[in-house]
Amino acid sequence: AQTVTQSQPEMSVQEAETVTLSCTYDTSENNYYLFWYKQPPSRQMILVIRQEAYKQQNATENRFSVNFQKAAKSFSLKISDSQLGDTAMYFCAFMNPYTGANSKLTFGKGITLSVRP
Amino acid sequence: DAMVIQNPRYQVTQFGKPVTLSCSQTLNHNVMYWYQQKSSQAPKLLFHYYDKDFNNEADTPDNFQSRRPNTSFCFLDIRSPGLGDAAMYLCATSRAWTGGSANYGYTFGSGTRLTVV
């Protein structure tokens, strides 16, 4: 079974600065997807960024980028130029859709990020 | 816009009184999921439907049931809610996996917060 570990329960960052959220995972599979989801206080889960394991290039989405280290099973999220609206809970998640129709999203415990004005 | 809609946003029910939460989608996705999320915790998968095929997680209590009458709608029934069932319930959808795709992933609804009194 896959596991996703987010060891930092909380982080705080000053507005406009850069912050990195850590995530490690454990799997014996070679092909899979990794995701970062954001859940603001309004509670809707929003996809921030996705990474396909067979791609060596790190995914980027505007101010959000990942550092994907497949051998180390590490998938960290970097938020540049932090904004107040980035305050939220962030979940790292793993999925292997290659297993078929019953693929499931496995979440880490999440990290609460606070952006200070 | 195509989306996943959950109703109601907030639901209060009495201890032991059956309650139904609903989810609808306009994305025409094959797969629909129900997650339970307790305060500041990771979402926990209860079950999912792949088309009409129901897939229950091994540790989902019998108190939780689901129905999917058509592609667009999925319901979560809690037969006899207990205080421990108070949580946010998240519905999510995804299309069936058909091979490598940069856009593969889940779409979440806004959730229903259930209070048991």
Query: Percent of chain A, pLDDT > 90?
Result: 74
* pLDDT for the residue B103: 66
pLDDT, tens digit (0-9, with 9 covering 90-100), for B81-96 = 999 999 999 999 988 7
Structure-block tokens of residue A81: 């130029």
pLDDT, tens digit (0-9, with 9 covering 90-100), for B30-84 = 999 999 999 878 899 999 999 999 999 989 999 999 999 999 999 999 999 999 9
Q: How far apart are CA A60 and CA B102, in angstroms?
A: 13
Let me know if domain B4-116 sits in CATH 2.40.50.40: no
Let me know if domain A3-116 sits in CATH 3.40.50.620: no
**Domain range summary for chain B, segments of one domain joined by +:** 4-116
Interchain contact A1–B (C-beta under 8 A) = no
Helix (H) or strand (E) holding B54: strand B53-56
**Domain range summary for chain A, segments of one domain joined by +:** 3-116
Q: Chain B residue with minimal CA distance to A111?
A: B40
Confidence of residue A65 (pLDDT cuts 50, 70, 90): very high
Structure-block tokens of residue A48: 């921030």
Chain-chain contact of B110 with A43 (C-beta, under 8 angstroms): yes
Give mean pLDDT, residues A27-50.
89
Buried b (16+ CB within 10 A) or exposed e, A16-48: eeebebbbbbebeeeebbbbbbbbeeebebeeb
* pLDDT for the residue B2: 63
Q: Which of A5, A25, A105, A114 would best serve as a mutation to test chain B binding (most B beta carbons within 10 A)?
A: A105
* pLDDT for the residue A2: 80
Average pLDDT, chain A: 92
- The SS3 of residue B11 is strand
pLDDT, tens digit (0-9, with 9 covering 90-100), for A5-30 = 999 999 999 999 999 999 999 998 88
* pLDDT for the residue B104: 76
